[in-house]
């Protein structure tokens, strides 16, 4: 007797917004998946890939960890006071400059320099009536990395839309480097 297929586990998402680190006049939109900042998940997924490229003698372990976590920044879209564009973006309707024209994947995290499309974390966002799925995470500037060992993340669409409509406001970015640190 065969068993029915097991449906994928549903993940929890939390959207957050705060002043963009380094560009406080811009609003940044961060994401937590199952209680963990997406940048931390990406840091772990890319640790071994970066280890092949970085000279371990150049940085301390702490500096490498900071580099990994801060390789991306929360996403921002200029001139979006009511958040309509960011909501559309995270529901798969991203502007062309925040999409991979070959795959349709969209930018979930931006570059720490403040330019969203400079060093983006891209993923395919599939939206159905009941679910939103993020999969196929990749870094467009590192095609040799292929698909990152991250996700897929499957969210209940009603819970996803609820989280997107009511982002958690934060004063600073919780992962931003301390500007007063030596």
104-147 pLDDT, tens digit per residue, is 999 999 888 777 778 889 999 999 999 999 999 999 888 899 99
Q: Global pTM?
A: 0.86
Quick one: pLDDT at residue 148?
94
More confident site: 69 or 3: 69
123-132: list long-range contacts, CB under 8 Å, 24+ apart: 123/151, 125/90, 125/91, 125/92, 125/94, 126/92, 127/91, 127/92, 127/157, 128/157, 129/157, 130/156, 130/157, 131/10, 131/155, 131/156, 131/157, 132/91, 132/157, 132/160
């Amino acid at each position: 007797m065969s068993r029915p297929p097991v449906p994928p586990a549903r993940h929890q998402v939390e959207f957050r917004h705060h002043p963009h680190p380094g560009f406080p006049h811009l609003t940044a939109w961060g994401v937590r998946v199952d209680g963990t900042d997406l940048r931390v998940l990406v840091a772990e997924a890319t640790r071994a890939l970066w280890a092949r490229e970085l000279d371990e003698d150049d940085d301390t372990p702490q500096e490498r960890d900071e580099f990994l976590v801060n390789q991306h920044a929360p996403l921002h879209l200029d001139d979006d006071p009511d958040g309509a564009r960011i909501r559309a973006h995270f529901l798969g309707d991203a502007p062309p400059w925040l999409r991979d024209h070959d795959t349709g994947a969209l930018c979930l995290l931006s570059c720490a320099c403040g330019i969203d499309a400079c060093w983006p974390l891209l993923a395919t966002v599939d939206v159905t009536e009941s679910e939103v799925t993020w999969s196929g995470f990749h870094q467009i500037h590192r095609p040799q990395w292929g698909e990152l060992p991250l996700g897929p993340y499957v969210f209940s669409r009603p819970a996803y839309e609820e989280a997107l409509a009511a982002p958690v406001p934060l004063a600073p970015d919780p992962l931003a480097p301390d500007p007063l640190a030596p």
